Amino acid sequence: MTDSNKNWSIEDSLHTYQVKRWGEGYFGINPQGNLSVYPTKELNGPLIDVQAVIKEIKKEGLGFPAVIRFHDVLRSKVKNLNNTFSQTIKEANYKGDYYGVYPIKVNQLREVVEEITDIGRDFHYGLEAGSKPELLTVLAYNHNPNALTILNGYKDKEYMRLAMLGTQIGRNIVIVIEKFSEIYSVLEAAQEFNVTPIIGVRAKLSSKTSGKWSESSGDFAKFGLSITEIIELIELLKEKNKIDWLQLFHFHVGSQIPDIRAIKECLTEGARIFANLVQMDVPLKYIDVGGGVGINYDGTNSNCSSSTNYTLKDYIGDVIYIIKDVCNIHQIAHPHIVSETGRAIAAHHSCVITNVFGKVNLTRYKAIDTSKNPHDHHLLKNIKELYKDLNHSNYQDIYNDACVIKDEAIAAFKLGVVNLTQRSQIETLYWNICHQIINMTENEKYVPVEIKKLKSVLADKYLCNFSLFQSAPDAWAIGQILPVVPISYHNESPYIECTLADITCDSDGKINHFLGEDGHRSTLKIHDLKGKEEYYIGLFLTGAYQDTMGDMHNLFGRLNEFHVYADSDDPNGFYIEESIKGNSASDVLEIMQYNSKEMCKKVKNEVDQQIKAGKLKARIGVKLNDFYEACLNNYTYLGNS
């Protein structure tokens, strides 16, 4: 153990990776130095050692990378949301009830939806759909007649007829009008099926939200009716004597809203519209405040796009008290409250575990002769002098000059003035200067921006067995920061600065934005791989959107998946309830319209020709065909052997 390890504690790791902030009590580090899950958020309660889960997965013979779902966390999230609404309603003396719905677009996987509806049954917690396939899903899985089934999104005639089917089989269906013309489809379908539907109307709020999805709100939002259109809808329903159908008022503030002030503004405007509609004799019973509750991905508790400056309890309090105050001012009854919270329900329960299989650093410090040589090119002579003169007081000036020399050396090489050996020496000295400067400024509070960038450039690239585009597409597409944490060795100092590279053939397949002790970092502190046969890293908070948005870039398919539950009677404190094998090469190829049997046939024909030509032995040919077929049936990711 090094001296740095002697002074390193688990508390240091918790701080370095901000586990307490993003983990919300569900994640921590046990005394053995392994990242652990605490399903009840109690340090003395049930504990699931993630490293122990990895060992059990390996015994099952399925490799990594893998998705691990901690369903106890998912269940806890649903209970916490509903209980907090219930408690706050009681404390506020609010007269309406809470009827939450889970928007399945956040994570449509069957196991997730089943878990949510099961634990949500006691709370009359329903589901929300935004497309026909999602509607087909919620009709089959939302069995609770007291729970709402909210239907959003654009709707055609078939969508409307499915909604009427749901009403006929006893579902509490609410059809939300997103554009004016949909009301005519509702009227037609209701007449065809001879049912009385419940409808809602979604308003476009003028209030704008913040964050990456701010365009979801405002006058020019994609969905919803303008105030003028809402008035026209009311007049139409009154004219047809169907105004009693309109029972829900809906607005949506966006997704991953970082600033609570934006939410307050939208809530206030939405509540005012609701109150005015009630005063116009519209028999509204529900106010649906939509989604938008953010996750503290980066641990900063700020209003940056990867964080939030509020808690779920803060949000719920604002929803209830703002609606209550507006209704009291207008002297109308308190409506039932509906929210479509998804990200805050699903994000924490799932993570991606990947094994590190190597590292790359092409700029590592290398010893080189810096003595004077009369045969040196003047550029080489100059950078040798810079290297010798480098000190703490002149490092910025030295760095600037070294950059100029490096650029001039490349230009001179292209003209044939500098040979390859001289160019190599100049570049080696340049990178040595950079390394020296990083070491000099390690503990300085103020470091010039260009020097800070050097740390990322010079960092080791740890090679991880996963596809960013499949498992963390938000990190690539919108720069979403996800917590990235080693699974074990937290009783050792993570003194290596690195970035992560995936196994896709794409330069964008990397992670170089991380959370840190004082905000965002361009590198991740990690352990040295020396002496470690296996090293695993987890990408956390991937249960919302990441699970279902991944693509097939480089034909890397869905990951092996494991559903884990805590069990105090089990010697390991948990059990794996279900294992789901990830995509094979054949699976993903068939998605892209390839026929694996036809592919085998084509390769076999090629092998047969080689055998006939005497270039291959028949025995070898059979083995080659078997090997090709076996590869088609294997996992798309790197083997762990």
* Strand boundaries in 115-227, DSSP class E: 126-129, 148-151, 172-177, 198-202
Model confidence at 479, pLDDT cuts 50, 70, 90, reads confident
CA–chain centroid gap for 41, Å, is: 22
pLDDT given at position 218: 53
The predicted-structure confidence for 251-303, as pLDDT tens digits, reads as follows: 998 899 999 999 999 999 999 999 999 999 999 999 999 999 999 999 888 99
pLDDT of residue 217 exceeding 60: no
Using DSSP's 3-state secondary structure scheme, residue 107 falls into coil
Q: Which residues contact 544 (CB under 8 A, 6 or more apart)?
A: 106, 107, 295, 342, 343, 345, 346, 347
The CATH number given to 94-341 is: 3.20.20.10
Q: What's the CATH fold of domain 378-454? A: Methane Monooxygenase Hydroxylase; Chain G, domain 1 (1.20.58)
CB 460 within 8 A of CB 359: yes
Please state, rounded to an integer, the average pLDDT across all residues of the chain.
92
* Highest mean pLDDT (candidates 44-48, 56-60, 318-322): 318-322
pLDDT of residue 364 exceeding 80: no
Percent of the chain with pLDDT over 70: 96
Closest by CA to 340, choosing from 467, 254, 460, 426, is 254
**Lookup result for tokens 């092998």:** 607
Task: For residue 142, count CB atoms less than 10 angstroms from its CB and return exposed for 0-12, middle for 13-18, buried for 19 or more.
Answer: buried
Model confidence at 448, pLDDT cuts 50, 70, 90, reads confident
Strands 198-202, 336-338: parallel, antiparallel or unpaired by DSSP?
unpaired
Task: For residue 308, count CB atoms less than 10 angstroms from its CB and return exposed for 0-12, middle for 13-18, buried for 19 or more.
Answer: buried
Out of 33-37, 259-263, 448-452, 590-594, least confident range:
448-452
pLDDT of residue 208 exceeding 80: no
Out of 22-36, 91-105, 446-460, least confident range:
446-460
pLDDT given at position 223: 78
How far, in Å, CA of 216 to CA of 104, rounded? Answer: 18
94-341 and 378-454 have identical folds: no
How far, in Å, CA of 548 to CA of 273, rounded? Answer: 35
Name the residue ranges covered by the structural domains of the chain.
94-341, 378-454, 586-632
CA atoms within 13 A on the CB side of 176: 30
Q: Is residue 65 reached through a cis peptide bond, with omega within 30 degrees of 0 on the bond before it? A: yes
Lay out the sheet containing 27-29: strands in order across. 27-29, 35-37, 48-49
The predicted-structure confidence for 413-441, as pLDDT tens digits, reads as follows: 999 999 999 999 999 999 999 999 988 88
Mean pLDDT of 292-319: 93
Strands 172-177, 574-580: parallel, antiparallel or unpaired by DSSP?
unpaired
pLDDT given at position 262: 94
